[in-house]
Structures are given as structure tokens and as C-alpha cells.
Amino acid sequence: METAGPGLIFTLIAFIGGFSILVFVHEWGHYKMARLFKVRIDTFSIGMGKEIWGRTDKNGTRWRISAVPLGGYVKFFGDASAASNPGDLPEGLSEKEKADCFHFKPLWQRALIVFAGPAVNLIAAVIILGGFAYIYGVNITPSIISGVAEQSPAEKAGFMAGDRILSIDGKAVERFSDVGETIRLYPNARVTIEIERAGEIKFLPVTLGEFKQQDRFGNIYVMGRLGVAAVDGVHHTVGLGGALLEGTRRTVRMGKTMFSTLGEIIMGIRSVKELGGPVKIAKVIGEAASIGAASFISILALLSLNLGIVNLLPIPVLDGGHLMFYLLEAIKGSPLSKKAQEAGFIAGAALMLIFMVLVTLNDLQSMAL
């Protein structure tokens, strides 16, 4: 049964709250690693723009909530701005001040401080997904086919009951859930599926079908269809260690899917219309929050993983861009010229602006449909 959406006010509150949590987690990673290396931190801000609330702790860090609830930053001592650009080397500092300054720390320490933000986002996804595994247990179903639907893509391609699916277009699968997660990404696509049948390895080309699924809010999703059924699975209760392993497994699989999907968009295999922006993210968070706390936390895990991966892309203005500059510095033996770094950041900012315009237009077009 279709349910009315959660409403604009509820969606905005859920989006601001959820996004602020993700930003805090990300910036907390930078902050904790910087504190470990004794970097003085001037500001820890959730949001951008004018401060609406703040307090200064005993270390001199100003903790603040800012007026624009999108993004956030940690500003290190000596930074010309909140961006902590590698080219912004402060001048006129005493030796004591240099010891507290991010820009005068060894290269490996600066790299770890930058990497810590995305890393904590990835770790947060592992912990959340592992937490669900610990609370609810894990259903494990082997990737063995128990039956094939009549006139389905699987039947036409020659699949049989008892076949074990090993990989799909070279992507290894371990469980039947892995099969579903991969197949649904490729409606009407031609893929090659590796199977094991009676101890023999076979490769079966198949043109997938499609089916449309509508959620309780009226959103319609077009997904790939193979047309096979699974054997019975087994429910396992896992301890803390097993839960973390399961959380890691799920995070790695989702990360691989995000990377492959992004690569397919860049190569033109998938449409850029599949990309969503802030409007779509707000809608998804609001709908998840309206279902319940578990659904809200689950979507935060997915978005935390997304935030971590996107920030590791080698684009100046992102953490990955900083790390790229540090890698070049390590190879060259000295930092790139300030002019070269500024040119990189201008190009990166332009690229991100184009991307934001593109995904926002996608959002607006999807709302108009």
C-alpha cells in the first residue's frame, strides 16, 4: 500500500540531523588524528557561515554550530581558511608555533590527518552494519539455485537447479544475497555468469530482464531480473567479532558496488541521471526516518560509506585531492609550487560545482516526473 511522504518539515529535520551526524563523524576523524599529532585546532564547525552557537574548550578549540546546515570543517592553527590547502604555508611563525601548526608537521602525519576523516566514515559504516548483524543475526544462503522460473532469462540461458553461481561478470559471489545485489543493478543488460555444475565450471551468457518495484512512498525502481530461486538459508547468531567481520564484509561489497557503478557512469555505460544530489538525499533520509530508527540508522551507514568513498577521490578540494598532492610531494621530494596547487584547487572547485549543478538538475527532473 502506498503511503504519503513524511512531509517537508519532517524531511528537513531528518536530513539536517542525519547529515550533521555524518559531517561530525568525518570531521571528528580529522580532529582526533590531529590531536594525536599535537596540532593546535582553532575551530570545529558543524555547518558553514555565521556561528549560531559555540563554546571554547580548554585547548582553545572553538566548537560551533553554524547557520548553514550543510557541511562542516576543522580549521587548524595557521590555516588561511577552513580548506587547509597544502599550498597555504603560513609565514612569520615562531618555532613553538610551528610545532603546533599542521603545515609544518611531517608529510606522513599530514597525510594521516587528512585520511582520517574518510577512514572514520568507512569505520562508522562497518560498526553500524556490524551492529545490525550482532542484534539481528545473519542469514546465510549459499549461491545455489533451487529452481528456475519458466520463460525467464535464466531458463533461456540454460541455468538448472543445483547450479552454484560463482561470479557475475567477474565479480565473485559468496551468498545468494550477493547474486541479488549484483543482478538488480543491471536491468536488460548482457552479463556472463560463472557457475559450477556437477564439479564442472561453465560460463553462461545471459540477457537479464527487468522488473519494477514500488516502495511504500510511491518511488518506482527498475531492477535487473534473472529468474532463479535460492535454496533454504541458515540463520546464524554471531558474537562481537563475527558481527564486525560481517559489517566489514557488507561494507566492502557496497564499496565495490559504488566504485564499479561510478566507473560505469564515467565510461558512459550507465546514465548520469542515476546520480542523486542533496534533494534526493534529503528525500531518502526523510523516508527512512519515517519508517523507524533502524531504517534511519541503516541509511546513515550507506551515506557514511558514500561520503568516505567520495572524499577519497583524487579531486582537489576533497581529501583525496590533498592526499594526491602529498603523494606528488613524496615523489618529488618537495611540495608542488603554490601556483600549481592553486590551479589544481580552482579546477577541482569548478568540477565539483559542475557536479553539484548536474545532480541538482537530476533531482529536480525526478521530482517533476
The residue count of the chain comes to 369
CB neighbour list of residue 210: distance below 8 Å, 6 or more residues apart: 187, 188, 222, 223, 224, 225
312 neighbors 320 (Cβ within 8 angstroms): yes
362 neighbors 277 (Cβ within 8 angstroms): yes
Just list the catalytic residues: 27
Question: Mapping DSSP to helix (H, G, I), strand (E, B) and coil, where does residue 305 land?
Answer: helix
Q: How far apart (Å, rounded) are the C-alpha atoms in residues 254 and 277? A: 19
Strand segments, DSSP code E, in 198-342 are 200-207, 209-214, 220-225, 228-230, 234-236
- Cβ atoms within 10 Å of 366's Cβ, excluding its own: 15
Q: Which helix (H) or strand (E) holds 109?
A: helix 107-136
Question: Mapping DSSP to helix (H, G, I), strand (E, B) and coil, where does residue 70 land?
Answer: strand
Strand segments, DSSP code E, in 105-233 are 138-140, 145-148, 164-168, 171-172, 190-197, 200-207, 209-214, 220-225, 228-230
48 neighbors 61 (Cβ within 8 angstroms): no
Q: How far apart (Å, rounded) are the C-alpha atoms in residues 234 and 167? A: 21
